[in-house]
Structure 1
Amino acid sequence: MTRAFALAVAPNGARRTHTDHRALPMTPAELGACAKACLDAGAAMIHLHVRKADGTHSLEVADYMAGIDAVQRAVGRELVLQVTTEAVGIYTPAQQIATVRALHPEAISVALREVSPDAAHAPAAAAFFAWLWQENIVTQYILYDTEDVAHYWRLRASGAIREGRHWVLFVLGRYSKGQLSSPSDLLPFLSAWETGAQALGTPATATQWAMCAFGPREAECALAAVLLGGHARIGFENNLYLPDGSVSPDNAASLGALTVAATPLALAPMTADALRELTR
């Protein structure tokens, strides 16, 4: 019996440019073309970063609208379009929140450590999380380490993050030496995830989780995640290489490195609508 998993593409990130890889999408037109290619390669979701005219990271509403329009013209609703709120040391929590409120997108990602870094920011973050839930904006909470996982469960226990309408992303290798990941890096996250769920008295499987991994072992980490019941995010934001060590020609090829390995194991990428149902 085939089991479906969610495959997301993170095609560009906030920092890399054409200098790093010519096929890294930066302009709205490039994002649209990339989205279509990745849809054809099995993606159910695109994790969208947009850029200013000079190529630098942007959370500006006008820049986002141009990128969103290009992707929607290319794929319609066949991909979940997830807006990132990543600060990159440029934007404040208030600015991150304001962008999301202005865009009112289908889905967002948000790092807990960015919008709720301390007690002073907690009330605004809690109000934001409540608004996201009320507005049916599917949120993916980004967790960089086991302390972030514990933080998530504290927010669940306090009611700041309600059950449903969200999932989480474990980030492997962001703060490791050389930003390198291995499949075993997933184990501490899963242990902390189970511990938090048990403390709250809820099944660990009630909320979906995915992972992304920095470095050339990205596909291995992704396959491990899927085999363990999770989902995967792949793309040039985190890694430019294929499992054999060669430079990936494009994001679609990077997705293919996972799907080719997953298919003989009766694992298949789900559709965008299936992902919507899973995270609603």
Structure 2
Amino acid sequence: MTRTFALAVAPNGARRTHADHAALPVTPAELGQAAKACLDAGAAMLHLHVRRPDATHSLEVGDYEAGIAAVKQAVGDQLVLQVTTEAVGIYTPGQQIATVHALRPEAISVALREVLPDAAHEAAAEAFFAWMWCERIVAQYILYDAADVAHYWRLRAKGAISPGRHWVLFVLGRYSAGQRSSPADLLPFLQAWRDGAAGAGVTPDPASSIGGDATPWAMCAFGPRESECALTAVLFGGHARVGFENNLYLPDGSLAADNAASLRAVAEAAAPLALRPMSANALRELTA
């Protein structure tokens, strides 16, 4: 029996440019072209970063509207379009939240440590989480280490993050030397997930392979072992995000031609194990 998993693409990130790879999408037109190629390669979701005219990172509404329009023109609703709120040391938590309020996108990603860095930001962040849940905006909470996982479960225990309408992303290798991850880097996240769920009093879902409730989880991984990490996550019952934001190389060490090639590497490795990428609509059902 074939099992499906969500395969997401992060095609550009906030920092890389054409100087890093000629096929890295920067302009709205390039984002649209990349979206179509990635859809054909098995992606269910596109993690969207947009840029200013000088190619630097932007959370400005106008820049987002142009990028979103280009992707929608290319693929319609065949990809879940996830807007990033990454600060990159430029935007405050208030500005991150304001961008989401203005755009009201289908989905966003938000790092707990950015939007809720200390107690002074607690009320605003928790109001933001509640607003998204009510507006049916699917949040993906980005967790960089075991401490972030524990923080997530504390928020769940106090009701600041409600069950459903969200998922989480474990980031492998973000703070390691050279940002090079390995499949073993996933294990501390899975242990912290089990421990956090137990501490929050969550009754384990029998369908969960790692303990806790039915909240979906995914991972992204820095460095050339990205595909190995992705396949490991899928085998554990999770989902995967790959792309040029985190890695430019294929499993054999060669430079990937484009983001679609990175997606195909994961899909092709998963296929003999009766694992295949799901559609955008299946991902929408999973995170509803």
Classify the TM-score, shorter chain.
over 0.9
Match of 2:216 in 1: 208
Q: Is the 8 A contact 2:5 2:277 kept in 1?
A: yes
Amino acid at match of 2:250: L
1:57 corresponds to: 57
Q: Which residue of 2 aligns with 1:267?
A: 275
Q: Which amino acid letter does the alignment assign opposite residue 282 of structure 2?
A: A
Shift of 1:178: 0.5
Checking the alignment, whether the CA contact within 8 Å between 2:157 and 2:201 is kept in structure 1 is no
Superposed displacement of residue 201, structure 1: 2.7
8 Å CA contact 2:139–2:165 kept in 1: the answer is: yes
Which residue is equivalent to 1:165? 165
Q: How does 1:127-142 map to 2 (within 5 A)?
A: 127-142=127-142
Which ranges of 4 or more aligned residues in structure 1 deviate by more than 6 Å? none
Alignment of 1:107-146 (within 5 A): 107-146=107-146
Equivalent residue for 2:260, pick from 247, 252, 266? 252
Structure 2 residue 217 is matched with structure 1 residue 217:
no
Q: Which residue of 2 aligns with 1:195?
A: 195
Matches of 1:147 and 1:164, distance apart in 2: 22
What's 1:276 paired with?
284
Q: Report deviation, 1:199.
A: 1.8
SS of 1:8's equivalent in the other structure is strand
Residues 32-66 of structure 1, C-alpha deviation per residue, up to 9 Å, x if partnerless? 00000000000000000000000000000000000
Residues 236-251 of structure 1 aligned to structure 2 (within 5 Å): 236-251=244-259
CA distance in 2, matches of 1:143, 1:271: 25
- Structure 1, unmatched stretches of 5+, are none
Paired AA for residue 278 in structure 1: L
Q: Does 1:151 align with 2:151?
A: yes
Distance 1:207 1:153 in 2: 11
Is 1:89 the counterpart of 2:89 in the alignment? yes
Amino acid at match of 2:63: D
Quick one: distance in 1 between partners of 2:271 and 2:285?
23
Hey, what's the Cα distance between the residues in 2 that align with 1:174 and 1:24?
Answer: 20
**SS in structure 2 of the partner of residue 206 of structure 1:** coil
Q: Is the 8 A contact 2:146 2:188 kept in 1?
A: yes
User: What is the alpha-carbon distance in structure 2 between the residues aligned to residue 178 and residue 196 of structure 1?
Assistant: 29
Q: Residue 205 of structure 1: CA displacement?
A: 4.2
TM-score (norm 1): 0.99
Structure 1 residue 252: Cα displacement: 0.1
User: What letter matches 1:261 in structure 2?
Assistant: A
Residue 26 of structure 2 is aligned to residue 26 of structure 1 = yes
Alpha-carbon separation, structure 2, partners of 1:230 and 1:220: 13
Q: Is the 8 A contact 2:154 2:200 kept in 1?
A: no
CA distance in 2, matches of 1:201, 1:157: 8
User: Which SS does the other structure have where 1:233 is aligned?
Assistant: strand
Counterpart residue identity of residue 83, structure 2: V
Q: For residue 225 of structure 2, what is the amino acid of its counterpart?
A: R
Distance (whole Å) between structure 2 residues aligned to residue 136 and residue 197 of structure 1: 24
Distance 2:180 2:217 in 1: 21
Q: Distance in 2 between matches of 1:4 and 1:255?
A: 15
Shift of 1:17: 0.1
